[in-house]
Structure formats: structure tokens, C-alpha cells
Amino acid sequence: MKQQQRWTAAQIPDQHGRVFVVTGANSGLGLETTRALARRGGHVILAVRDERRGRQAVAQITAQQPGANLEVRRVDMSDLNSVRAFADRLRADLPRVDVLVNNAGVLAPPRTLSPQGHELQFACNHLGHFALTGLLLDLLAVGRDPRVVTVSSVNHRQARMRFDDITGERGYSPMAFYNQSKLANALFGLELHRRLTRAGSPVRSVLAHPGYTATTLPQSGSVGLWRVVLGRIGNPLFAQAPAQGALPQLYAATHPGVEGGEFIGPDGLAELRGAPKRVRPSSTASDPEIARRLWELSERLTDVRFAFPTPVES
């Protein structure tokens, strides 16, 4: 992969005519991703749980960029019924989606179950995005340079899949289950790439992670200890700004040289901060057998099956 030295958002190509769906777009990485895409002319659909905050985000961006092509649509990524309703509305209103940015997430909450009974972080960070991608795959397949960008974390390297206790009923640790959800993102993105490639689909599946970025996630849902460690201590001392942390997913979404199956992260020490570069997933994330097992579990839990095109015979 060829890339320019110290890539910045100023190098995003013109995006006029392209349609982006960004989950969790009203704050943090999602807001900065939306802002940068709108600046380059993209039509961005802010997929948000709180429509009021989504409208506030739109007002903030349009105050700086009059005429920005933005719209707010509600979806709760932890609720599969909400995800399906969101996808149905998009399918009714749009002929295509060019890029889906699977960005929304929750971080280290107390053990909580989704409306369908799944552990909240696994539900929001992974299952909701698995379902949304599958439900929009046909719209993506007819898109212009279509991509699915799934946002993982450097923390995926510390994780394992707890297939024997996926909801944390027998033992729950807020950060361990966050890490598991980010490993699930990485496994999903790489397995999606393998399946798209086998099917001869034009859609590219790309992974990204933001390093250590100062977002509102620790304050919005984390249990007390992690709210202090990650938010009040870690963010001021070590974290980079959200605009910098969003660069890997912006690179993954827009750079013409990005290939399916690549993982984009920061180029600094331990991938905690810096400009976008290609990074390596963990050996667990790259394991096709673990990915297959997760994929089949995700199909059962979401009741979503991906409609891949039939490979063209040579």
C-alpha cells in the first residue's frame, strides 16, 4: 500500500456524490469523521441514538461549513430491532450507499443486557454493526468505490473470545468485555473481507483503530474506576485529539490506495497516536477458524444472513 508521508484530513479526495453512513456520528470520532467528510463534499448520514444531539452536531458543522450535505437518522446500535428499522428506512429512501463507517461504541459499562438479552458492549460494538452491514450489503454493492470501515481498537490484542460465556453471566469484567467486542470487530472485518473476495464483490472491508484518543466514551457509560482512569487521568495526559484519532478511519474510507483486508492505525509508539499507516492485527484476529465461529454465532444472534453475489466463473 502506497501512502503519503504524515497523511492528514486535508488530503482527503473530493467526495461530492458519495453517500456515507457513520454510526455514532454526533460526538468523538464519529463527529470528526462526519466533519471531515462533509468538508470534502460527502453526503453524510449521521446514524445516532439521540436525534437531538445529532441535530446539534449538524448545527455545529454547518455553522463552519454552510451547505454541508448532512442528515440525521435515529438508530440504537445495541437494539437489533432499531438496526433493522434503520436499514429498512435507508433501503426505502436510497438507491445506494458508498461507505459504511461502523464507528459507534460503548466502553466499560456495568454489566448490562441489550433488549435482545446480549451483553451491551458485544451488542452495540459488534452485533449491531454485523447486522447493519449485512442488511445494507446490496446498497453497498452498487456504490461508488464501496467500502465497509469497521473501527476496532488497539485493545483487541489483549482479548480472547469468551464463546462459553458471551454475555458475561458467569464472570464479567468491564474492560475485558470491551476488549472482546473490539476483537470481534477485527475478526468480523477480516472475515468479511475474505467472504467478499471469494464472492467477487466490489465492496472492500477495511479495519481502522484510533489509538488512544480523548473521546467522551469514558464519561458516557463507564463504571466509576474506568471513568477516572480513562477519562480524568488518561485523556488529559496521554490521549490525542479526536480529529487526529479519526484519521485512520478517514484514510480507510477515502484513500484510493487502500485495499480490502487492510488495518489502518496510528504510526506512533505502540500505535497510540500519530498519522495513519497500515498495522497488523493480532494473531487471534487473523485466525479464520475463530472468525468463522464468531460469524456463525453472529448470524444466529442477529438473524441476519449476508447475501453475497455468486462468484463469476472464469
**Mean pLDDT, all residues of the chain:** 92
pLDDT for 209 equals 98
Residue range 253-274, pLDDT digits in tens: 999 999 999 999 999 899 999 9
Is 71 a residue whose pLDDT tops 50?
yes
- Residue 149 is predicted with a pLDDT of 99
pLDDT per residue as tens digits for the range 206-251: 999 999 988 765 555 545 554 445 545 445 567 899 999 999 999 9
Active site residue 251: no
The region of weakest confidence among 120-134, 150-164, 193-207, 208-222 is 208-222
Write out the three cell numbers for 140. Answer: 453497498
pLDDT value at residue 309: 78
SS3 content of the chain, % helix, strand, coil (to 5): 45, 15, 40
Instruction: Give me the amino acid identity at 134.
Output: G
Give the per-residue pLDDT at 230.
Answer: 52
Grid cell in block for residue 282 = 493480532
pLDDT, tens digit, for every residue of 36-55? 999 999 999 999 999 999 99
Q: Catalytic one among 172, 178, 212, 251? A: 178
Tell me whether strands 70-74 and 43-48 are parallel, antiparallel or unpaired: parallel
Closest CA to 167 of 133, 127, 223: 127
> Smallest Cα–Cα separation from 294: which of 170, 126, 94, 172?
126
Q: What is the pLDDT at residue 148?
A: 98
**β-sheet bridge partners, residue 263:** 207
